[in-house]
A = this chain, B = another copy of it.
Amino acid sequence: MASIPTATVSRLVTYLRILSQLDEAEVTRTSSEHLAGEAHVSAFQVRKDLAYFGKFGTRGAGYSVQTLRQELMRILGLTRPWNVAIVGMGRLGEALAVYPNLARYDFQLTSAFDVDPAKVGREVNGVRIRHADEIPAAVSDLKIDIALLTVPSEAAQDAANALAAAGVTGILNFAPTVIDAPPGAYVEPVDFLAGLKRLSFYIQRSKAKEATT
């Protein structure tokens, strides 16, 4: 298999979001130009990104929205279920446990972990909170693929290492710190601040414009 640039993977996720919106709006056909406009890249980039995975669409006739959406779902591994655990049941962990869109893509919450004895044994959204010491056994028994990591920053790297050692292959890191990917695992950071910084840019710019007009 060819090596796929990480930026291509990010753009595939964006194309899928655009296609899902088109599908919800009952639009049946689209083009690389339309996808490019919505994703803020060139049409050439869209075609190049898709070409890593085969031939899609028909020259001059564009793409079927439903077919391309389904193909992207397959490419992204979203046509099969993934077993998800939440590690760190503070406020953010609890919020994620009831996040309505997880199950929409077959991300199935199968377990939750914390180290606080006051939390262990409680249930959140039908899932019993286990002690973090049970991670090795639970990852194996429940075949956990992906962990949402919501522990404090200072505990994040150790928790990621323990999860990877137990066999978890994907870690979505919500802790506000950079962690190294442990051997055998992929780490994707979730950064609330990136969106805030983009907002800051646009607001400052519009204020500067107001001041000069």
Chain A positions within 8 Å of B, measured between CB atoms, are: 1, 4-7, 9-10, 12-14, 16-17, 21, 40-41, 75-78, 80, 82, 90-92, 94-96, 98-102, 105, 107, 145-146, 153, 169-172, 176, 178, 186, 188-209
Kindly list chain B residues whose C-beta atoms are within 8 Å of the C-beta of A92.
91-92, 95
Check A176 against B13 for contact (C-beta < 8 Å): no
Asked whether A40 and B186 contact (CB < 8 A) given A75-B201, A146-B199, A201-B77, the answer is no
On whether the beta carbons of A99 and B176 are closer than 8 Å, the reply is yes
Q: A95-B92, A100-B176, A208-B1 are in contact. Are A199 and B203 (CB under 8 A)?
A: no
Which residues of B have CB within 8 Å of A100? 153, 176
Copies of this chain, whole number = 2
CB pair B91 A98 closer than 8 Å:
yes
User: Which residues of chain B come closer than 8 Å to A153, judged between CB atoms?
Assistant: 100
A-B contact pairs, 14 of them (CB 8 A): A1-B208, A9-B198, A10-B194, A16-B197, A17-B194, A77-B204, A91-B91, A91-B92, A91-B94, A101-B176, A146-B196, A170-B203, A172-B199, A186-B199
Chain B contacts for A169, CB-based, 8 A = 203, 206-207
Q: Which residues of chain B are within 8 angstroms of A21 by Cβ–Cβ distance?
A: 178
Q: A1-B209, A7-B41, A102-B196 are in contact. List 19 more A-B contacts (CB 8 A).
A: A1-B208, A6-B40, A17-B191, A76-B201, A82-B203, A91-B91, A91-B95, A101-B192, A101-B193, A105-B196, A105-B200, A107-B196, A146-B200, A169-B206, A170-B196, A186-B199, A188-B196, A188-B198, A188-B199
